[in-house]
Each structure stands twice: as structure tokens, then as C-alpha cells.
Amino acid sequence: MKNIVILISGTGSNMAAIVRAAERERWAERLGARVVAVLSNRPGAAGLDTARAAGIATAVVDHRAHASREAFDAALMQAVDAHQPALLVLAGFMRILTPAFVAHYAGRLVNIHPSLLPAFPGLHTHQRAIDMGCRFAGATVHQVTAELDHGAILAQAVLPVLPGDSAEALAARVLTQEHLMYPRAIAELLLKI
């Protein structure tokens, strides 16, 4: 069985979409894969409750309890490796990972970013797209590399920026596409590993 571990920092809406897709599409039977754990760097992350309600193991590795980014990543790596993941999925995980962490999961670490990469890596993507006068926005599923939001693109969803769009309105529309695209991209990747 290919174990999937998901990292979150907040509500975990993409994680929940992945879990729903895994159940609905019978990933265990069809792909030999299952979501075995959801980990967060924030103790109060609402997504942990969602994962527990789905019967998925959860854990917290609080980044504030570690003296350095390297120490946090080492503790996180130990918690992740306890589940022997074939795939490590970042779903709203709001920490920049060290090169050593990324190298440890090379080829099996994916992220979703709320822009059409390579445009607008980092934060505030929707407002930046609006400010630049972009006619289209979207989201990107990509392999994670040591360079922030620059890994190989696995999938993209494109939608128009509407006249009068606010960053919040655009973000809400992009998020609905993320919930559809991320599980599909993960399923396709699982066929290759």
C-alpha cells in the first residue's frame, strides 16, 4: 500500500478534498494508496479535527517549540517517516522547508500554489495578479524543490479574473478549482510511483 501523509497549517480544505476523493474514487483498491496521517505545525489547526473525524491519524509538530528551522524540519521528518510515506502532500502547509527536508522526500513531495506558476510565487498571489492587471489566474500543483514554488508543474487550473474582483473573491473561486485539481493530480502521480 502506498501511504500518503498530508501536511497542513490551517483549515485543511484541500486535505479534506483529497480525503473525500480517495474514498469516493476508492484509491485503496484502484491505486493501492491511502491517506494514513495528517500532520500540522499548528496545534489548533481546524483540519486536524476533520482528519480525526475521517479516522485518519493526526499529529502536531509545533514549529514554535524548536530553536531553528533545521530542528523543526528534523522533528517533522521523524514524525512523517513514522508513517512510511510513498507521497508527502503539502496542503496549506505554511512553512518554508529546508533543502535537507526537501531532498529527503525528493520526487515524492508535492504542493499546491494559488497562482499560475511561474507567476507569483510566495504570498499574496491573488492581490498581486489583480494589481498586475492579469486577465487569468489559477492554481498549480507542482513538485517541491529547494527553491520556493519552482518545482516541475504537474497540473494547472486557469480561470478568468473578473472585472471588480477582490483578492478574496478571486481566492474563493481559485480554491474551488484547487479542490478539484489537487486530488486528480495526486491520483495521476500515484500511478507513477
Digit-coded pLDDT (tens) for 129-184? 999 999 999 999 999 999 999 999 999 999 999 999 999 999 999 999 999 999 99
Q: What is the CA radius of gyration of the chain?
A: 16
Cite the DSSP H helix spans in 45-166.
46-53, 69-81, 99-104, 125-131
| Rounded-to-integer distance, Cα 47 and Cα 49, Å | 5
Collapsed DSSP state (helix, strand, coil) of residue 98: coil
For the entire predicted model, the pTM comes to: 0.97
Tell me, what's the pLDDT at 25?
Answer: 97
In the chain the domains, ranked by start, together with CATH numbers, are 2-190 (3.40.50.170)
Nearest residue to 139 via CA among 189, 192, 106, 183: 183
Q: What are phi and psi of 95, to 5 degrees?
A: -130, 140
Q: Are 58 and 45 in contact (CB under 8 A)?
A: no
Taking only the tens place, the pLDDT of each residue in 19-58 is 999 999 999 999 999 999 999 999 999 999 999 999 999 9
Q: Are 172 and 190 in contact (CB under 8 A)?
A: no
Collapsed DSSP state (helix, strand, coil) of residue 137: strand
| Rounded-to-integer distance, Cα 40 and Cα 141, Å | 20
What percentage of the chain exceeds 90 in pLDDT? 99
DSSP one-letter code for 76: H
Tell me, what's the pLDDT at 107?
Answer: 94
Tell me, what's the pLDDT at 171?
Answer: 98
Q: Which residues are catalytic?
A: 113
Residue 74 pLDDT level (bands cut at 50, 70, 90): very high
Tell me, what's the pLDDT at 32?
Answer: 97
Collapsed DSSP state (helix, strand, coil) of residue 14: helix
Tell me, what's the pLDDT at 127?
Answer: 98
What does the pLDDT average to over 108-132? Answer: 97
Tell me, what's the pLDDT at 177?
Answer: 98
Residue 11 pLDDT level (bands cut at 50, 70, 90): very high
Q: Which amino acid makes up residue 102?
A: V
Number of neighbours of residue 122 by Cβ within 10 angstroms: 11
Tell me, what's the pLDDT at 142?
Answer: 98
Q: Are 112 and 32 in contact (CB under 8 A)?
A: no
Q: Is 118 exposed, middle or buried (0-12, 13-18, 19+ CB in 10 A)?
A: exposed
The mean pLDDT of the chain is 97
